[in-house]
Amino acid sequence: MVDPTSDIGEDVTEDNAPECEQCSDKIIQSTSHRVVTAIDEGKAVHYHFCSDACRDEWQAA
Ligand SMILES: [Zn+2]
């Protein structure tokens, strides 16, 4: 079982921080951090965004 929230917010450093899919900003302990989970070829993938605005732009593209 994969917990989709397990890799978020703990021990995040600049080296392993995810980048926003929309603007490529590093996301480090950001309270506006958003994650979209999608299924790609049967495998769960997580897309990280620095804010709702970036997520919305990405989803609209
Ligand atoms: Zn962004």
Residue ranges with CB less than 5 Å from ion ligand 1: 20, 22-23, 25, 50, 54
Between the alpha carbon of residue 37 and those of residues 14, 15, 32, 55, the distances in Å are: 22, 22, 16, 12
pLDDT digit of tens for each residue in the chain (61 aa)? 555 555 555 566 777 889 999 999 999 888 999 999 999 999 999 999 999 999 999 999 8
How do the domains of the chain map onto residue ranges?
17-61
Q: What angle do CA 43, 44, 46 make, to 5 degrees?
A: 140
Separation of 37 CA from ligand 1 center, angstroms? 16
pTM (predicted TM-score): 0.71
